[in-house]
Amino acid sequence: MESEPAAGFFVRAKEALARAGRAAARAQAAALLTLAYFLVIGPAALLARALGADPLSIRRAARTGWIARRAGPARETLTKAG
Amino acid sequence: MGRVRDAVRRLGVVGELLRFLWRERLWWMIPLLIALIAVGALIVLGSSPAVAPFVYTLF
Amino acid sequence: MRILGLSFDYHDAAAALVVDGVPVAAAQEERFTRVKHDRRLPESAARWCLARANLDAGDLDAIVFYEKPFRKLTRILAGSIATFPRSAAMFRRAAGAWLDERLWVGPRIERALGVPPSKILFCEHHLSHAASAFFASPFDEAAVLVVDGVGEWATASLGRGRRAEGGGWELSLDAEQRYPHSLGLLYSAFTAYLGFEVNEGEYKVMGLAPYGRPRFADRVRAMLAPFGDGSFRLDLDWFAFHRDPARAFAARFEREFGPARAPGAGDPAEDARFCDVAASVQLVCEELVLAMARQAARRAGSKNLCLAGGVALNATANARLLREGGFERIWIQPAAGDAGGALGAALYAAHALGRPPRWEMTRADLGPEHSTAEAADALRRAGLAFEEMRGEDELCSRAAGLLAEGKTLGWHQGRSEWGPRALGQRSILADPRPAEMKRTLNEKIKFRELFRPFAPSAVEESFGELFDAGSPVPDAYRFMLAVAPVREAARARLGAAAHVDGSARAQLVERGRLPLYHRLISRFGDLTGTAAVLNTSFNLKGEPIVETPEDAIATFAASGLDALALGPLLVARRPSGKTEARRRPWAASETPSDGWAW
- Express each pLDDT in C488-522 by its tens digit: 999 999 999 999 999 999 999 999 999 999 999 99
| CA–CA distance, C217 with C214 (Å, rounded to integer) | 5
Q: Contact, C597 vs C179, CB < 8 A?
A: yes
Q: Which of C196-200, C404-408, C471-475 has the lowest mean pLDDT?
A: C196-200
What does the DSSP 8-state code read for residue C545? P
Write down the pLDDT at residue C521.
Answer: 98
Q: What is the pLDDT of residues C305-323, one digit of tens each?
A: 999 999 999 999 999 999 9
3-state secondary structure of C40: coil
Write down the pLDDT at residue A19.
Answer: 86
Q: Which of A30-39, C160-169, C174-183, C438-447 has the lowest mean pLDDT?
A: C438-447
Report the CATH superfamily, name and number, of domain C1-66+69-122+338-361.
ATPase, nucleotide binding domain (3.30.420.40)
Chain A residue numbers touching B43 (CB-CB < 8 A): 25, 28-29, 32-33
Mean pLDDT taken over chain C:
94
| Per-domain boundaries in chain B | 2-56
A18 touches B at CB < 8 Å: no
Write down the pLDDT at residue A10.
Answer: 85
Write down the pLDDT at residue B48.
Answer: 62
Fold of C372-571: DHBP synthase (3.90.870)
Residue A76's φ and ψ, nearest 5 degrees, are -75, -40
Neighbouring subunits of A (3+ Cβ pairs under 8 A): B, C
- The residue among A14, A32, A69 with the most chain B CBs within 10 A of its CB, best to mutate, is A32
Q: Contact, C173 vs C146, CB < 8 A?
A: yes
Q: Which distant-in-sequence residues (6+ apart) come within 8 Å of C118 by Cβ?
A: none
| CA–CA distance, C34 with C585 (Å, rounded to integer) | 10
Amino acid identity at B49: P
Q: What is the pLDDT of residues C388-418, one digit of tens each?
A: 999 999 999 999 999 999 999 999 999 999 9
Provide, rounded to the nearest whole percent, the portion of chain A with pLDDT above 70. 91
**SS3 readout for C78-126:** HHHHHHCCCCHHHHHHHHHHHHHCHHHHHHHHHHHHCCCHHHEEECCHH
Burial pattern C30-57, b for ≥16 Cβ within 10 A else e, equals bbbbbbbbbbbbbbbbbebbbebbebeb
Long-range contacts of residues C467-470, Cβ cutoff 8 Å, at least 24 apart: C467/C504, C467/C506, C469/C322, C469/C506, C469/C508, C470/C322, C470/C323
What does the DSSP 8-state code read for residue C5? E
Locate the chain C residue with the closest alpha carbon to A29: C96
Whether C593 shows a pLDDT value over 60: the answer reads: no
Q: Contact, C129 vs C74, CB < 8 A?
A: no
Q: Where in chain C is the domain with CATH 3.30.420.40?
A: 1-66+69-122+338-361, 126-336
3-state secondary structure of C232: strand
Q: Which residue has the higher pLDDT, C86 or C265?
A: C86
Write down the pLDDT at residue C587.
Answer: 34
Q: Contact, C253 vs C238, CB < 8 A?
A: yes
Domain C126-336 has CATH 3.30.420.40: yes
Which residue among C95, C158, C180 places its CB closest to the CB of A66? C158
What does the DSSP 8-state code read for residue C135? T
Question: Nearest C-alpha of chain A: how many angstroms from B53?
Answer: 11
Whether C344 shows a pLDDT value over 70: the answer reads: yes
Q: Contact, A37 vs C80, CB < 8 A?
A: yes
Write down the pLDDT at residue C544.
Answer: 96
Q: Which string of DSSP letters, residue by residue, matches B2-58? A: HHHHHHHHHHHHHHHHHHHHHHTT-TTHHHHHHHHHHHHHHHHHHHSTTTHHHHHTT
Provide, rounded to the nearest whole percent, the portion of chain C with pLDDT above 90. 89
- The residue among B8, B25, B33 with the most chain C CBs within 10 A of its CB, best to mutate, is B33
C37 as an active site residue: the answer is no
Q: Where in chain C is the domain with CATH 3.90.870.20?
A: 372-571
